[in-house]
Amino acid sequence: MSALILLNKPYGVICQFSPSGKHPTLKDYVDVPGFYPAGRLDTDSEGLVVLTADGGLQHTITDPRHKLAKTYFVQVEGLPDDAALAPLRAGIALGDYRARPAEALLTAPPDWLWPRVPPIRARQAIPTAWLQLTLREGRNRQVRRMTAAAGFPTLRLIRYSVGPWTLAGIEPGTWQYADSSILRYTKDSSPASGHRHAHGRHSGKRRTT
């Protein structure tokens, strides 16, 4: 068995295995004993969650000292120009701490984008834009706080990659096994562009409830 599972977490799913009562959890999607998330994703966020049964690997992925790149596609309210992204690239102040400099780009809506359920609550009079953000740290609701501090609140947040692993080929609510050995070769890469995929050939199935 591979040491990793890559899950495309849908909106509204809590990133834990214990029952929540109000929301579905990881257990509703990944019915494989012994695997736990290496880093969490907010309930109102979507995208890649990496799970492992290896405690050492979990620590490597989550430890900020390793500065593992995480790339997000973010739909924001408003139309930021390149100058408006400068504070994100420089390291924006968030009140209780200053975020590390991030890679921040304006981008077109991703061609792999799926409809969100429920849809975002966009205001018709205010246009929206998509950003591609790559961070090498991960604090509570950090991406949302960063875009809000820059003047562009987040409407939709999708994590596309963690280190060398990406969402490519993984539909929402499904998962795949992945090879963990690629980490030692690509620890410093940002896989949102020009990357090689690390997905295993075996595809998991969503657990029915």
Looking at the fold, whether 88 and 151 belong to one and the same domain comes out as yes
Return the SS3 of 183: helix
Say yes or no: 122 and 171 in one domain: no
pLDDT at 124: 79
Same domain, 118 and 92: yes
In a domain, 38, yes or no: yes
How far does Cα 125 stand from its chain's mean position?
A: 29
My answer on whether 29 and 74 are in the same domain is: no
Burial environment of residue 148 by CB neighbours within 10 A (0 to 12, 13 to 18, 19 or more): middle
- Which residue carries 């991030």 as its tokens? 102
**Is 42 labeled as catalytic in the residue annotation?**
yes
Q: Indicate if 73 and 104 belong to the same structural domain.
A: yes
Residue 167 belongs to a domain with what CATH number? 3.30.70.580
CATH of the domain at 114: 3.30.70.1560
Give residue 198's pLDDT: 40
3-state secondary structure 52-99: ECCHHHHHHHHCHHHCCCEEEEEEEECCCCCHHHHHHHHCCECCCCEC
Distance CA 15, CA 173 (A): 13
Is residue 127 situated within a structural domain?
A: yes
Q: Verify that 17 and 87 share a domain, yes or no.
A: no
Q: Are residues 74 and 131 in the same domain?
A: yes
Amino acid at 185: Y
pLDDT value at residue 153: 97
Q: Is residue 73 part of a domain?
A: yes
Query: Is residue 209 one of the residues assigned to a domain?
Result: no
Residue 196 within any structural domain of the chain: yes
User: Do 191 and 118 have their domain in common?
Assistant: no
Are residue 148 and residue 102 in the same domain, yes or no? yes
Q: Which amino acid is at 102?
A: A
145 backbone dihedrals φ, ψ, rounded to 5°: -65, -35
pLDDT value for 56: 87
> Over its length of 209 residues, how does the chain's per-residue pLDDT go in tens digits?
458 999 999 999 999 999 988 899 999 999 999 999 999 999 999 999 999 998 888 888 888 787 789 999 999 999 999 999 999 999 999 999 999 999 999 999 999 999 999 999 877 789 999 999 999 998 899 999 999 999 999 999 999 999 999 999 999 999 999 988 877 544 444 444 333 344 443 344 444 43
Residues 77 and 149 in one domain: yes
Q: Which domain holds residue 48?
A: 4-65+162-203
Which residues, at least 6 apart from 162, have a Cβ–Cβ distance to it below 8 Å?
Answer: 38, 39, 48, 50, 61, 68, 69, 70
Is the domain of 60 the same as that of 73?
Answer: no
Catalytic residue among 28, 31, 42, 188: 42
Single pTM value for the model: 0.86
77: left (phi over 0), alpha (psi -120 to 50) or beta: beta
Residue 10 lies in a domain: yes
Q: What is the pLDDT of residue 184?
A: 57
Total domains in the chain come to 2
In this structure, is residue 208 part of a structural domain? no
For the chain, give the number of residues: 209
- What confidence score (pLDDT) does residue 197 get? 40
The Cα 146–Cα 186 span in angstroms is 26
Q: Indicate if 58 and 92 belong to the same structural domain.
A: no
